[in-house]
Structure 1
Amino acid sequence: MPCAVYHNYVHYNSVVVSSSDPCYCPNIEAALHHDSKTPRYLHIASNQKNHWGHQRSYRLQVFSFPGDHLPENQAEERAMSWARYKLAITKHKDLEQSCGSLYNQNEMWAPAVDFSKFIADNERIVNEDLVAWVTAGFLHIPHAEDIPNTVTVGNGGGVLLRPHNYFDEDPSIHSVDGVYFAPGSEDSCEYNKMACLVKETCSPVLEPFSYNGFLGG
């Protein structure tokens, strides 16, 4: 959902994948072509709402989309048809485990796995187990500082799957090892065990040490 800032509030323009039949949303509408504009926020949402009345969803946060793709009119492109899309959402199938195959290089014109067929079936994806196929990448032009090792910082891409209004609050507060400090409880033995030590010290206790020079000097 791209947003524009007006004065002191944020206005959201929601881009929703929809269909004439609300119970039938085809996966072809949830496939972003590599040359299409990408919304700032990508959500996989349900009709269920959390305690605050917001749709429960997961956000796909992609750090780096790939660049230009091989033209689709080239026969070899079929072996890498997954790269046509920045993002594609399909119904989960046990027979669709990967978007490509090692054997595609043996016969690129009739690949063992053709990802475009995952989209072409145009199946219903509402209230189904879904798979998000994300194509991430980055451009790296070799330079002198790559020798002997390429620096990994700044050279990478990826995607995060983050809950967005899926929970009613931060779920980490229910962790077993979670610690909660209330105002005024800094000196309480119940919350801060370090406040009740018999003797507090910031450095280790060392034995007395003296130096009288080297023997036989």
Structure 2
Amino acid sequence: MYSRPKDMEFVNVSLPWMPDHYAMVPQLVENQLKTEKEAALRYNTKSPRYLHIASNKTNRWGHQRSYRLQVFSFTGDHLPESQAEEKAMSWARYKVAITKHKDLEQTSSSLYSQNNIWTPAVDFSKYIDDNENIENEDLVAWVTTGFLHIPHAEDIPNTVTVGNGGGVLLRPHNYFDEDPSIHSADGVYFGPGSENSCDKNRMACLAQDTCSPVLEPFTYHGFDGVMKFEDWL
């Protein structure tokens, strides 16, 4: 497998209709990362907009079948590497790190590292330092995601989750010949006027189903019945 980032960069080209004039035009650029250090993307550096894990096999259009790593993360600054205890969390140096698969490199950290953070049981940075070749190898993608949440009054009684989050999507990219959902066996087509048809949409006639539960109408009474702060005094 291969690691292939794609991004756009501006190139100064002459205009076909005005050869004497030039313009900066965005152009697709694709590279191949060859070593573990090249594929270690630090948290404070620009990341390619498309990062692929590709194989030698191609789809019917001749494109390499691959998966795209799409990272959503809003973590803060990392602990300075000059600090001795940083070794216990060296995985946080990278947004994404792609390494050659090894049986002895199973985890990015260890529960036992907390017993001696200055000489941790697992130092992830050593996975990168050997800088092995990652071309045509079994690969592992290590992804760091997260977000910073500072408690505030609006967290009571429930912490709002809108706008908070971190994660990663593993999306097929040229892996299929076309959108695979069109071959879904249980696909249903809704035409205009058929929304209320029991033949097309069973949810439209759910009330007629003998097995469906009978639910009372939903009502909301605010915070009635909830202990008030004055009651604690």
Distance 1:203 1:131 in 2: 50
Q: How many residues align?
A: 183
- Tell me whether 1:16 sits opposite 2:24 in the alignment: no
Name the structure with the higher strand share.
2
- Tell me whether 1:3 sits opposite 2:8 in the alignment: yes
Alignment of 1:23-42 (within 5 A): 25-42=34-51
CA contact (8 A) 2:74 2:148 kept: no
Which residue matches 2:199?
194
Q: Higher mean Cα deviation, 88-97 or 98-107?
A: 88-97
User: Cα deviation per residue 1:141-172 (whole Å; 9 max; x = unaligned)?
Assistant: 22111123312232210000000011111223
Which residue matches 1:89?
98
CA contact (8 A) 2:145 2:168 kept: yes
After superposition, the CA RMSD in angstroms is 3.0
Letter in 2 for 1:71: P
Which residue matches 1:168?
177
The answer for unaligned runs of 5 or more in structure 1 is 19-24, 196-200, 206-217
Distance 1:65 1:128 in 2: 31
CA contact (8 A) 2:7 2:28 kept: yes
Residue 3 of structure 1 deviates from its aligned partner by 3.3
TM-score by length of 2: 0.68
Which residue matches 1:57?
66
SS of residue matched to 2:199? helix
User: Cα deviation per residue 1:42-64 (whole Å; 9 max; x = unaligned)?
Assistant: 21123432111222211111112
SS of residue matched to 1:66? coil
Larger radius of gyration: 1
TM-score by length of 1: 0.73
Change (3 A) 1:151 1:51: same
Residue 85 of structure 1 deviates from its aligned partner by 0.7
Change (3 A) 1:180 1:12: farther
CA contact (8 A) 1:65 1:86 kept: no
The answer for unaligned runs of 5 or more in structure 2 is 1-5, 11-24, 210-233
Residue 202 of structure 1 deviates from its aligned partner by 9.6
CA contact (8 A) 2:80 2:86 kept: yes
Letter in 1 for 2:28: N
User: Cα deviation per residue 1:72-113 (whole Å; 9 max; x = unaligned)?
Assistant: 111010000001111100112222221001111111111000
CA contact (8 A) 2:87 2:120 kept: yes
Taking only the aligned residue pairs, the percentage that are identical comes to 70
Alignment of 1:90-105 (within 5 A): 90-105=99-114
CA contact (8 A) 1:65 1:135 kept: no
- Tell me whether 1:147 sits opposite 2:156 in the alignment: yes
CA contact (8 A) 1:89 1:133 kept: yes
Distance 1:109 1:164 in 2: 41
